[in-house]
Amino acid sequence: MEREKPITTSGEILEVLENRCYRVSLPNGKVVIGFPSRELRSPGAQPLEAGSRVRLEMTPYDFSKARIVAPGN
């Protein structure tokens, strides 16, 4: 079975939650839970804060969660 390509979009962090989770607003107004990618969890990575713009990847199967792949746009 072929793997589905992720949906890429941008968003803005609304709130920093516990356990490295973030509440992120998408351009269409939907709010999702964002989880940072492995690269963004490293000690030298730029910290993510409320108000930061981020790039996201979402699976076509679950639109309530997203992976934060890069800060800014």
Domains and CATH numbers, the chain: 7-71 (2.40.50.140)
pLDDT confidence of residue 21: 94
Per-residue pLDDT of the chain (73 residues), as tens digits, is 677 889 999 999 999 998 889 999 999 999 999 999 988 888 888 889 999 999 999 998 999 999 999 987 6
Q: 3-state DSSP call for residue 18?
A: coil
pLDDT confidence of residue 26: 96
Residue given tokens 């800060």 in the structure block: 71
Six-digit token pair at 8? Answer: 């890429």
pLDDT confidence of residue 1: 64
